[in-house]
Structure 1
Amino acid sequence: MKPRLGFLGTGWIGRHRMEAMLATGAVEAGAICDPEPACADEAAALAPGAVRVDTLEQMLEQDVDGVVIATPSALHAEQAIAALKAGKAVFCQKPLGRSAVEAQAVIDAARDADRLLGVDLSYRHTQAMRQIADLVRSGELGDVFAIDLTFHNAYGPDKPWFYDPDQSGGGCVVDLGVHLVDLALWVLDFPQTGAVDARLTCEGRPLNAGQVEDYATAQFRAGDAEVRLACSWRLNAGRDAVIEAAFYGTRGGAALRNVGGSFYDFTAERFQGTATTSLAEPPDEWGARSAAAWAEQCAASLRFDAAAQNYVRSAEVLDRIYGR
């Protein structure tokens, strides 16, 4: 029997992940829930046999083995914990929680329920980033001592809740920086991290109460590497986006970079002195690869995967960036 999944939140991201999961053939859609009828209709077109429900509680009463969560950030931890306590596996959009405390509570619930937990940290699954991770882990770059991370988005989110710190947990750092921090820690196999020196601003000025940052810089240590991070919304960057993750070691360097301002096309290059070698080029259909991988993992086993404990590591760094 294929695992049956409930899809909670079927906006663009939720439907995109749903389509990728179903395309694997490893899982089936058992239930759909979205407060917007148009979103639910589009999801139902992908899975005509799925039951449409109005609440998470109703979804948990259905014959589903897992729940895929694509809702506003403030709801992630509470909804994930409820699903896990009901004995369902969970795949959640980032961030898993608005703080490390929330993230750890979800992980604890997954461990207690012995159920699989996944988070949609999609940039890990780009071909470019996998090539770089292989270089670092094999020791071909020597000892990595510096990492430069950048994610500037010339646009800002279009939903009001993103700008409410109580609902979002923060601004561009929790929206974009979480991917950067995760990449650095994931490539280095989640080393210990140190204190963070950070500066957060909104429209070029220090944050006032009730505001979220639209520009942030931070510096911290991850193992023996010095990590520098910069991210923003609505920066006058001259292109749609500037995305980069560069790793510098004692025997060489490597970097992921977006192409022509694209949010989707990436290159990976290896550096040795003044020489550059291409590692990966577009096209690469990576956007929903993390969702598909989780679906296949579900089909293999619904039991808790201890690697989920690493999700809190990035959340701890974000907490330090925010000074909490």
Structure 2
Amino acid sequence: MIATKPENKKSKELALGFVGVGWIGRNRMEAILRDTGSKAFAIVDPELENAAEAKKLAPKSCHLDSLQTMLEEEQLDGVVIATPSAMHAEQSIEALRAGKAVFCQKPLGRTANEVREVVEASWQANQLLGVDLSYRYTKAFKAVYDLIKAGEIGEVYAVDLIFHNAYGPDKDWFYDIKKSGGGCVMDLGIHLVDLALWTLDFPEIKDVRSRLYHQGKKLTSFEEQVEDFASVNMVSARDTNIHLECSWHISAGRDAVIEAKFYGTKGGAAFKNINGSFYDFTAEKYNGTQTETLVAPPDDWSGRAGVVWAKELLEGKKHDPEAGEEFIRTAEIIDRIYGR
């Protein structure tokens, strides 16, 4: 893969297509339209109610019947995909091969092979590819990341990752392994695995051991059921220990528990949700028994990853080899967690 220099900044606004405009799709759409030089050129969603709600955000957009019809429009600059996971890789590849940039909900693919195929299509078409790994873009995690990169907590030797969701998804396809690619690890854990690997510069992971459960019983087959609880231990080539625990429908005593804690030779740092919130996060620095708050709410972060992608596209940025390799390496770890 060869890096390319960004082209000159475009003088016109971006014309974007939005495929899948349920709650998450509309949230990303609203943020991108509000914060970038973009317009919603077209919308694709088989649910007329979703399309009608999206049209309220972009009254001049057209509602098309398919991605294929959308991609026939030459003026289209990029496509934002927020469909069920089984469609992500195929739709991303189709859009990229049509010469359109892509911003896709996670997971980019259900397996590492699917992710590799999407990244390859991005490279072949030299089109920008973004994935909605949204916690990277919170102010709280950015503070933790910068602290660690500055050497403030020394060399990191242990990482604790937790994402417990007391509810779980409300769509049936999440519980179908063929459509989702996995359960709570694919839905929730992927965010935290990405945060840990990104912060540690994507180290080689020499050992992955996982225990996956469905309704309290250890899973031995993934053909019919997906996990709703996972405990995973990973060890890097530098002997950094990374522990992940995530779940759906657990008695967590609150709506959610979301944490990424890093322990180093000079101190610690943590990214944590507040009072069970899915949206409010704090960043903390630890020194012995002392806690220093680095960042506290509010922070309107939920659509920020898409905004960054749209701004990079507006600046003429094309395929990013480093980002592509990161998407692949995270997907490979998820595959190993599932024993694939």
TM-score range, shorter chain: over 0.9
* AA partner of residue 338 (structure 2): Y
2:164 is the counterpart of 1:152:
yes
- 2:273 corresponds to which of 248, 258, 264: 258
Q: Distance in 2 between matches of 1:21 and 1:242?
A: 28
Written as runs of structure 1 = structure 2, the 5 A alignment for 1:113-128 is: 113-128=125-140
Tell me the residue number matched to 2:29: 18
Q: Distance in 1 between matches of 2:58 and 2:121?
A: 29
* AA partner of residue 212 (structure 1): V
Q: Distance in 2 between matches of 1:151 and 1:250?
A: 25
2:187 is the counterpart of 1:187:
no
Q: Distance in 2 between matches of 1:222 and 1:144?
A: 11
Q: Distance in 2 between matches of 1:21 and 1:182?
A: 23
Tell me the residue number matched to 2:66: 55
Tell me the residue number matched to 1:294: 309
Alpha-carbon offset, residue 302 of structure 1: 4.3
Tell me the residue number matched to 2:327: 311
Alpha-carbon offset, residue 25 of structure 1: 3.2
Q: Give secondary structure in 2 for the equivalent of 1:5.
A: strand
Q: Distance in 2 between matches of 1:206 and 1:216?
A: 9
Tell me the residue number matched to 1:280: 295
Tell me the residue number matched to 1:64: 76
Percentage identity across aligned positions?
Answer: 56
- 1:243 corresponds to which of 242, 248, 258: 258
* AA partner of residue 113 (structure 2): V
* AA partner of residue 198 (structure 2): W
Alpha-carbon offset, residue 309 of structure 1: 2.1
Q: Distance in 1 between matches of 2:312 and 2:237?
A: 30
Return closer, same or farther for 1:300/1:222 CA change in 2, 3 Å cut-off: farther
Tell me the residue number matched to 2:3: none
Q: Distance in 1 between matches of 2:51 and 2:120?
A: 31
Q: Give secondary structure in 1 for the equivalent of 2:277.
A: coil
Q: Distance in 2 between matches of 1:151 and 1:304?
A: 31
Alpha-carbon offset, residue 223 of structure 1: 4.8
TM-score, normalization: structure 2?
A: 0.94
2:156 is the counterpart of 1:140:
no
Contact 1:151 1:177 in 2 (8 A): yes
Range 24-33 or range 147-156, more displaced: 24-33
Contact 2:18 2:40 in 1 (8 A): yes
Alpha-carbon offset, residue 88 of structure 1: 0.3
Contact 2:15 2:77 in 1 (8 A): yes
Return closer, same or farther for 1:301/1:222 CA change in 2, 3 Å cut-off: farther
TM-score, normalization: structure 1?
A: 0.98
Tell me the residue number matched to 2:178: 166
Q: Give secondary structure in 1 for the equivalent of 2:123.
A: helix
Q: Count matched residues.
A: 324
Contact 1:152 1:241 in 2 (8 A): yes
Q: Distance in 1 between matches of 2:36 and 2:216?
A: 48
Tell me the residue number matched to 2:7: none
Alpha-carbon offset, residue 222 of structure 1: 3.4
Please list every run of 5 or more consecutive structure 2 residues that lacks an aligned counterpart in the other structure. Answer: 1-11
Q: Distance in 1 between matches of 2:151 and 2:237?
A: 15
Q: Distance in 1 between matches of 2:161 and 2:337?
A: 14
* AA partner of residue 268 (structure 1): A
Q: Distance in 1 between matches of 2:59 and 2:201?
A: 41
2:39 is the counterpart of 1:31:
no
Q: Deviations over 1:134-169 (max 9, x none)?
A: 011111111100000000000011111001000000
2:233 is the counterpart of 1:219:
yes
Alpha-carbon offset, residue 206 of structure 1: 2.0
Range 82-91 or range 288-297, more displaced: 288-297
Q: Distance in 2 between matches of 1:251 and 1:316?
A: 31
Contact 1:89 1:302 in 2 (8 A): no
Tell me the residue number matched to 1:210: 224
Contact 1:185 1:222 in 2 (8 A): no
Contact 2:16 2:80 in 1 (8 A): yes
Q: Give secondary structure in 2 for the equivalent of 1:52.
A: strand
Q: Distance in 2 between matches of 1:319 and 1:114?
A: 27
Please list every run of 5 or more consecutive structure 1 residues that lacks an aligned counterpart in the other structure. Answer: none
Q: Distance in 1 between matches of 2:154 and 2:171?
A: 44
Contact 2:207 2:236 in 1 (8 A): no
Contact 1:195 1:320 in 2 (8 A): no
* AA partner of residue 121 (structure 1): L
Alpha-carbon offset, residue 295 of structure 1: 1.0
Range 301-310 or range 62-71, more displaced: 301-310
Contact 2:176 2:225 in 1 (8 A): yes
Tell me the residue number matched to 1:196: 208
Contact 1:21 1:291 in 2 (8 A): yes
Contact 2:36 2:307 in 1 (8 A): no
